[in-house]
Chain A
Amino acid sequence: GENVEQHPSTLSVQEGDSAVIKCTYSDSASNYFPWYKQELGKGPQLIIDIRSNVGEKKDQRIAVTLNKTAKHFSLHITETQPEDSAVYFCAASNQAGTALIFGKGTTLSVSS
């Protein structure tokens, strides 16, 4: 089945810097790649997603890129702010489209 690897596991940046989180997936049939943000004590919340027929997508300070050939996708956050501090998860849909398979998460800390 699908396997999603995510790195780094922790990332510390200064306010205003950029942050990049990278993921790889194993199943070439995956066609949907969302990113979720989880704050302490809360459930994960979708921040951006990309489909396999698109190479890049941007929403204000957040962008996601997808390389289908290499089975890589990445999250880019520019001009980071302290409120961006949270755990970020990448995910990929399984072959049947019935589940999202999540990475292990990246704890992002933005210091002011």
Chain B
Amino acid sequence: GAGVSQTPSNKVTEKGKYVELRCDPISGHTALYWYRQSLGQGPEFLIYFQGTGAADDSGLPNDRFFAVRPEGSVSTLKIQRTERGDSAVYLCASSLGRADTGELFFGEGSRLTVL
């Protein structure tokens, strides 16, 4: 399909472990976003990439969270020393430009459960 692809769809880990979540955006989309969605809440902004660089990382909650997009396409969200409060669905979205210029296309998310 031509949509945003996220892997894994489900991840269960133990407190303190390291986790990587992958996002494959729509081909040609230069903008990529990570959001976190807790149960019953709206998506919470984490980070925005324009090409290879993080143009806005103001939503990352602390230094345990890090994201990369080395070639301007696939992105990886990395969470160190996971905590139970990190349990959520992590959504990735891509678009042709900045968030205020048009539609964000979301993937189905990676559900992270920290035991």
Contacts and interface: CB of A to CB of B under 8 A. Distances in A.
A82 B93 CA distance: 27
B41 interface: yes
B58 to A, nearest CB: 8
Contacts of A46: 103-104
A99 B60 CA distance: 13
Size bracket of the A interface: 20 to 34
Interface string B91-115: 1010000111101101111000000
Interface in B71-105: 91, 93, 98-101, 103-104
A99 B48 contact: yes
22 contacts: A32-B101, A41-B108, A42-B108, A43-B4, A44-B43, A44-B91, A45-B106, A89-B43, A93-B100, A94-B99, A97-B98, A98-B55, A98-B99, A99-B45, A99-B48, A100-B43, A100-B45, A100-B100, A102-B44, A104-B40, A104-B41, A105-B40
Contacts of B101: 32, 97
A105 B43 CA distance: 9
A32 B103 CA distance: 11
Q: Which of B42, B103, B104 has the most A CB atoms < 10 Å from its CB?
A: B42
Given A44-B43, A105-B41, 19 more contacts: A6-B42, A34-B103, A43-B106, A43-B108, A43-B109, A46-B103, A94-B45, A98-B48, A98-B56, A98-B99, A99-B33, A99-B48, A99-B56, A100-B45, A100-B100, A100-B104, A102-B43, A103-B42, A105-B40
B8 interface: no
Contacts of A42: 108
B61 to A, nearest CB: 14
B59 interface: yes
B103 A31 contact: no
A65 to B, nearest CB: 19
A109 to B, nearest CB: 15
Contacts of B107: 43
